[in-house]
Structure 1
Amino acid sequence: MIPSEFIQQLLQRVDIVNVVERYVPLKKSGSGYVARCPFHSEKTPSFSVSPERQIYHCFGCGVSGSAISFLMEYSGMSFPDAVRDLAQEVGLSVPAIQSQQRTDQTHDKSLMAVLAEAHEYYRNQLKNSPIAIDYLKKRGISGVTAARYQLGYAPGGWRNLAHQFAQYDDVRLVQAGLVIEGEENKRYDRFRERIMFPIFNQKGGLIGFGGRVLGAGEPKYLNSPETPLFEKGRELYGLTQARQAIREQGRVLVVEGYMDVVGLSEHGVMGVVATLGTAVTPFHLEKLLRLSDEVVFAFDGDSAGRQAAKRAMDLLLPILKDEKKISFLFFPDGEDPDSFVRSQGRELFEAKLSQAKPFSQFLLDVLEEGCDLQTMEGRAKLLSRSEKTLAKLSASNLRLQLQQELAQKAKLSSTLLEKNLKTAIPPSNTRSANRRRMSIASLEINLIQLLFDHTTLVRSHMFLRMVDPNALEQFIDDLLRAAKNHPLRLGDWLERCRGGELEGIMEQVSQRTHLIPSTSEDAHTEMELEQGLIRLEQQSNKRYFQELFENFGTNLRTHRQA
């Protein structure tokens, strides 16, 4: 775990303007910078970056955050990866990376170099292989598309990589998954007579391969094994090529195989990634939901495809948010996205894509399977299934809509159904509930915004008051103490509150800070801050006496019963 103290030190060193400008061209505007938002399509710039507060905010789609959250949203990085990326940029060493981990990183770079050399060999082999070129042409793949996805070819034979690597016995060839070591230490190439699909991580580093056999051999698709670099359940094929289109379209299309991604690209359908032929995992979903607010899963129409869709639905239940749009697209049995677009063309494919089934409808279809709603027993079966499923669903507004729909299907009133289903907010949603409750605390939000907007005023006056330390009041107290020693930067405190009860409050402060410009630090501001703190103290005292009175009443009733 990365210490919070290091996060603060890092954000003090990082300039968010430099971070954003790596990916988005910024234009000076007043004391800040503006640009067209990289997270949604727009013609007029509504994305602003504040060097003073070290935060970004879009007035169009509402996204905001620090330098760390920008990297997470834009590049799809995890929190630790974003921290490491920024730390490397400013010359800091992340404390969590011990000497062994640094050794591992050096080893990873060495394995990447081996993979890159093998990739160069495979690409050269494709250029000189009429058989492989003819196969791609028959599949409708042009040279332009093959180059876009950097496809290659592993020819037949057992030790072809020995022509590329002078030391075929190098242990790294085995560790990178390129060579298999058999009995009596005999070595041979893992990939033979296959079209090679290079797999890149979210930073664009080559980490593995997928190979598609040319003939009728088995397995049809062969992936690199699990290595220090490659873990199949965490990666998405085609993400490097799809990222820009995903941002422009505001949608990511998820398919099952490599050829689906490449084939759709050939016909102009962009923003497509694949799950490397494996079932969707929680890691895939986390990455996809960071990439876009709209995710469409395209599955084969057979039973395996529908089972894959159900698995994705089950995994989405506890992490889905109301602002996310999820849908499922199924092709006729025997068809897949690649074969459909080749036979029907892009226009009909896009038309079919627009008919994708919403998450809510697919969920209802699954719940209704095998339930005869014309009988009381069938409706009871539906309710029994619904209770377990809705208890997992984290999107509270969607859950409410589903309850109303289920009430009609079960021929019950919404009130009676809600009581029957016992769909109180699940334990996993406690933090979301806390954030919603805190969102109405306008007094505290106003105070926090004033503290960030007028740090120098706070530092020059004794506004320190001890209040009853509940979460919000203690936080304001912490801000007051910190403001006496150094300027407050909103971006730093956004990260400090990440994942905690106050994350929702800080998001509101960030949005208000952009919507409501700070005023000059005059007597009016000083009076507003002072009065706010007095009200906060009065509120705390009122709550203290109310709790005291309630405790007295409880004790009195207990005494009388005794």
Structure 2
Amino acid sequence: MARDAVAEIKARLDIVDVVGGYVTLQRAGRGHRTLCPFHSEKTPSFNVSQDKQAWYCFGCQEGGDMFTFVQKVEHADFRAALEMLAEKAGVELEAEAQSGERRGAARRRKRTLEINARAAAFFEHVLWSSPAGEDGRTLLAARGVDEGRARTFGIGFAPAGGGGEDALSRYLKERAGATADEIVDAGVAHHARGGRLRDRFRHRLVFPIREERGEVIAFGARALGDDVPKYLNSPETSVYHKGSALFGIDLARAAMHDRRVALIVEGYFDVMAAHVAGVPNVVASSGTALTREQAKVLSRHADSVVLCFDGDEAGRAAASRA
């Protein structure tokens, strides 16, 4: 029953960790405090009690447990919040609480996230520890990005393909035990002739795209030289929807929450340049106009948005559509 699942989830999760996955909490006495994610304020009035496993905002005069918080911050109903927290806690929901189709979708999402994490580690290893990553290291140096900054963003390199199956697909099969269908479902490869897999990203600098809590949901990859397309993204998957993703949101959300302002730029290198300049509350829309879904994500952390798109025709068009 759902009530049993709720009790089990509460036993496994701490509300401080749940809320802390969305906002930056500061210790205050026996509890934690932060600026309220649900209304604009300059003095923190949003409190989280570890003892009571509850939250309360003196400004909104609203409160509740981890389920009501997730419902409110995700704009979700109870069922959706239950499934999100169950997945986080590793609690298997019973058939009455979750249909077989939903359980299958949850398993696919979990497996895609696992494959993405392994792929990100593979790309990063190639960039810094393999001769195949030399071209990527050269490009980063030319753009003034040092290794420390690149590692903060998890940048990697996809090696060129060769005979037989490509490198990432082989790695995921051998090291992660992934099937061909799982690799394709994750969007990092596609089926080629002869039953082999062909990696989606080949001889490109790779940027992992993470969600707010740091899970890798997709990749963006920049070509070297004059290869086209210049930028290639992951396809839509069970965990990635381009219209709602924001590059750098995992690193920017705390600064956005503190400053209540979000800066939107076009590209990955723009985000890194802003961090170097001491402006961490910045994300990239990856060349698209700001969507309603992206605005919803930003509204959890900031009260206003500043568009910093390029001054070319494409940038002006994106700004006018935002």
Q: Tell me by how many angstroms 1:183 deviates.
A: 4.1
Q: Which whole-Å CA distance do the structure 1 matches of 2:34 and 2:237 have between them?
A: 40
1:116 Cα offset (Å)? 2.0
Q: How far 1:214 moved relative to its partner?
A: 1.7
Question: What is the TM-score when the length of structure 2 is the normalising length?
Answer: 0.78
Q: Distance in 2 between matches of 1:58 and 1:21?
A: 21
Q: Is the aligned partner of 1:256 residue 2:266? A: yes
Contact 1:122 1:196 in 2 (8 A): yes
Q: Distance in 2 between matches of 1:238 and 1:53?
A: 30
Alpha-carbon distance, 1:111 to partner: 2.3
Alpha-carbon distance change, 151 to 41 in structure 1, aligned in 2, over 3 angstroms: farther
1:175 pairs, out of 175, 185, 188, with 185
Indicate the structure whose relative CO is greater, using CA pairs within 8 Å and at least 6 residues apart: 2
Identity of aligned residues (%): 32
Q: Does 1:101 align with 2:99?
A: no
- The counterpart of 1:155, out of the listed 153, 159, 162, is 159
Alignment match, 1:135? 139
Gaps of 5+ in 2: none
Letter in 1 for 2:33: A
Task: Kindly state the Cα deviation for residue 309 of structure 1 after the two structures are TM-superposed.
Answer: 1.9
Aligned-residue offset at 1:25 = 4.8
- After superposition, the CA RMSD in angstroms is 3.5
Q: Which amino acid aligns with 2:167?
A: N
Structure 1 counterpart of 2:124: 123
* 1:66 alignment partner, one of 64, 67, 70: 64
After TM superposition, the structure 1 = structure 2 runs for residues 340-355 of structure 1, keeping only pairs within 5 Å, are none
Q: 1: CA distance between counterparts of 2:90 and 2:179?
A: 39
Amino acid at match of 1:160: A
Look up the match of 2:57.
57
Higher share of residues assigned helix = 1
Residues 220-268 of structure 1 deviation map (CA, whole Å, 9 limit, x = unaligned): 1000111222221121111111111111211111122222112222222
Normalised to the residue count of structure 1, the TM-score between the two structures is 0.47
1:371-427 C-alpha deviation (Å, 9 max, x unpaired): xxxxxxxxxxxxxxxxxxxxxxxxxxxxxxxxxxxxxxxxxxxxxxxxxxxxxxxxx
Q: Offset of 1:113 from its aligned partner?
A: 2.1
User: 1:302: Cα distance to partner?
Assistant: 2.5
1:285 paired to 2:308: no
Do the aligned partners of residues 49 and 210 (structure 1) sit closer, same or farther apart at CA in structure 2, a change above 3 Å counting? Answer: closer
Give the AA of the match of 1:115: N
Q: Secondary structure at the match of 1:146?
A: helix
Question: Which of 6, 15, 18 matches 1:19?
Answer: 15
Tell whether the 8 Å contact from 1:72 to 1:290 is kept in structure 2 after alignment. no
| Contact 1:115–1:207 (8 Å) recurs in 2 | yes
1:291-302 equivalences in 2 (<5 Å): 291-302=301-312
Asked whether 1:189 is paired with 2:187, we answer no
After the TM superposition, which residues 20-419 of structure 1 pair with which residues of structure 2 at under 5 Å, given as runs?
20=16, 23=20, 24-27=25-28, 33=31, 35-37=33-35, 39=37, 46-48=45-47, 55-59=55-59, 62=60, 64-67=62-65, 68=67, 70-71=69-70, 77-80=74-77, 82-87=81-86, 89=89, 93=93, 97-127=98-128, 128=130, 129-158=133-162, 159-166=166-173, 170-312=180-322
Structure 1 Cα separation of the partners of residues 140 and 57 of structure 2: 45
Distance in 2, Cα, partners of 1:130 & 1:49? 48
**Residue 278 of structure 1: how far off its partner (Å):** 2.6
Partners of 1:162 and 1:178 in 2: CA distance? 8
Give the CA deviation at 1:70: 3.5
1:425-444 alignment, distance < 5 Å: none
Cα displacement (A) at 1:64: 4.0
Structure 1: gaps spanning 5 or more residues: 313-562
Aligned mates of 1:187, 1:20 — CA distance in 2 = 43
Give yes or no for contact 1:77–1:202 (8 Å, CA) kept in 2: no
Output the CA distance in 2 between the equivalents of 1:248 and 1:69.
23
